[in-house]
Structure 1
Amino acid sequence: MHTFSVTESQPRRCVFPFAAEASQVAGLRQAVRAELALWGMSALADEAQLIVTELASNVVKHVGQGSVATLVLDAGPNQLRMELHDKSGKEPQHLHPACDEESGRGLLILGALSTTWGTVRTTAGKAVWCELPLALDETRRRIQRATTVMEAYGPAVGSPAAWLPDRAVLEESVTSLILDVLHWLTAQGLDPDDILDRAQTHFEAEAV
């Protein structure tokens, strides 16, 4: 995978060609984090990496293993725009949140993290794009922190990373983490039920 920035008139635009394979996706995540650090946007790195993984994994599943694709990062004054181009004209389906289809989870993540997103037809196929605000709100900060925790938790218990495109892996990893926290709370002499009730109350209030 090669990385290059375009002309000085657009110093914060970068293009990452890659093949839709697991090893390439891992390298793509690292390249995105490194580029955002150079741009002074490290605060967006966790969210950007999560979105990139979902979009690239969708290409692996629905376009084909090894398919040629391109990620474009374009930083404006108020947002970071991310575009993933592939050679398939098939647009992502809008699936119900309860659906078990992996592509549905990717769309939910886009909706939760980005201010806006969509798809556009290109001469070669399509591009899925989204925009991340440079200023994070509280919901995005919570998602970012949870992503950081799950990145560390998966390897700690010998499980794949929680963001892999497998709903069963995601649910098992999160359930295990919550179970560990409940045991920890009990060991600290705290009431797990009380903590869960308080967390649910805060979650419902923030979701309004």
Structure 2
Amino acid sequence: MYRFSVTEPQQHRCVLPFSAEAPQLAGLRRVVREQLAAWGMSPLADEAQLVVTELASNVIKHVGEGTAATLVLDAKSDQLRVELHDKSQCEPQWLPSGCDEECGRGLHLLVGMAAAWGTIRTAAGKAVWCELALPPDENRRRIQRAMVVMESYGRGQTAGHPVGRLPRRLVMEESATSLIIDLLHWVAAQGLDPDDILDRAQTHFEADPPMACAPTYPAARAE
């Protein structure tokens, strides 16, 4: 599996081509959990992993083992959109919930968990999509705003430097340290007291309730 991300203002996208095979499912779930943590969306991790597992399993069963497929995660401030693309144009069929077979379970899960879902035809086949809603959370919004700043700042810091082999967590830590130093220099240049600003920021940070699951920053890798 090969992962690459595209970041836009107020939106994050992860595109993950993969081969629809049972051994790949654990890797898909791991990438989903890590990516949502990096976006500050860990509260949706369990639901998203379940949805992705069911959709990928449907591709394996109904389109074919080893089929080339693509998982797309689109994150906005208040929702996550999950898309599973495959090469077949046959849309999934709704079956009664009492059906003895498991073939209709994926759609029932989507209806039960998703704020919206559907299928779309694509040039190569189709995509099944669903949207998972996030409840309002100020800490998450802070993390998402900071992530946009950090990714932009990090690109400027690492331009021209061979950082491809460094763990992403280390790159983010170094970028965060450098950004804080730059901000303190800017504060001092404005005639303000850097120690006072740091103390006030620390006070506000400690007063904010912690997130249920603190985000981590996974290492970028190809699998």
CA deviations over 1:117-142 (Å, ceiling 9, x no partner)? 00000000000000000129xxxxxx
The residue that corresponds to 1:169 in the other structure is none
The residue that corresponds to 1:129 in the other structure is 129
Q: 8 Å contact 1:83–1:127 — kept in the other structure?
A: yes
Letter in 1 for 2:51: I
Letter in 2 for 1:63: V
Q: Residue 12 of structure 1 aligns to a residue in which SS?
A: strand
The residue that corresponds to 2:75 in the other structure is 75
Q: 8 Å contact 1:5–1:11 — kept in the other structure?
A: no
The residue that corresponds to 1:3 in the other structure is 3
Letter in 2 for 1:115: A
Q: 8 Å contact 1:92–1:103 — kept in the other structure?
A: no
Q: Normalized against structure 2, the TM-score is what?
A: 0.59
The residue that corresponds to 1:66 in the other structure is 66
Letter in 2 for 1:119: T
RMSD, matched Cα: 1.5
The residue that corresponds to 1:140 in the other structure is none
Taking the aligned partners of 1:91 and 1:121, their CA distance within structure 2 comes to: 9
Q: For this pair of structures, how many residues does the alignment match? A: 136
Deviation of 1:9 after TM superposition, in Å, equals: 4.6
Choose between structure 1 and 2 for higher RCO, CA contacts under 8 A separated by at least 6 residues: 2
Letter in 2 for 1:28: L
List runs of 5+ in structure 1 lacking aligned partners: 137-208
List, as ranges, runs of 4+ consecutive aligned residues in structure 1 with deviation greater than 3 Å.
7-11
Taking the aligned partners of 2:78 and 2:50, their CA distance within structure 1 comes to: 20
Q: Residue 5 of structure 1 aligns to a residue in which SS?
A: strand
CA deviations over 1:35-72 (Å, ceiling 9, x no partner)? 00000001100000000000000000000000000000
Q: Which has the higher helix share?
A: 1
Q: 8 Å contact 1:60–1:67 — kept in the other structure?
A: yes
Deviation of 1:7 after TM superposition, in Å, equals: 4.3
Taking the aligned partners of 1:119 and 1:101, their CA distance within structure 2 comes to: 22
Taking the aligned partners of 1:132 and 1:21, their CA distance within structure 2 comes to: 25
Cα 1:19–1:44 shift into 2, 3 Å:
same
Letter in 2 for 1:21: E
Taking the aligned partners of 1:11 and 1:106, their CA distance within structure 2 comes to: 27
Taking the aligned partners of 2:44 and 2:94, their CA distance within structure 1 comes to: 25
The residue that corresponds to 1:108 in the other structure is 108
Deviation of 1:103 after TM superposition, in Å, equals: 2.5
The residue that corresponds to 1:86 in the other structure is 86
Q: 8 Å contact 2:72–2:82 — kept in the other structure?
A: yes
Deviation of 1:12 after TM superposition, in Å, equals: 1.0
Q: Residue 103 of structure 1 aligns to a residue in which SS?
A: coil
Q: Pairwise mapping of residues 22-101 of structure 1 onto structure 2 (< 5 A)?
A: 22-101=22-101
Taking the aligned partners of 1:79 and 1:120, their CA distance within structure 2 comes to: 19
Taking the aligned partners of 1:7 and 1:117, their CA distance within structure 2 comes to: 23
Taking the aligned partners of 1:66 and 1:55, their CA distance within structure 2 comes to: 14
Cα 1:81–1:116 shift into 2, 3 Å:
same
Q: Residue 104 of structure 2 aligns to a residue in which SS?
A: helix
CA deviations over 1:74-104 (Å, ceiling 9, x no partner)? 0123210000000000000011100123221
Deviation of 1:8 after TM superposition, in Å, equals: 4.5
Letter in 2 for 1:92: P
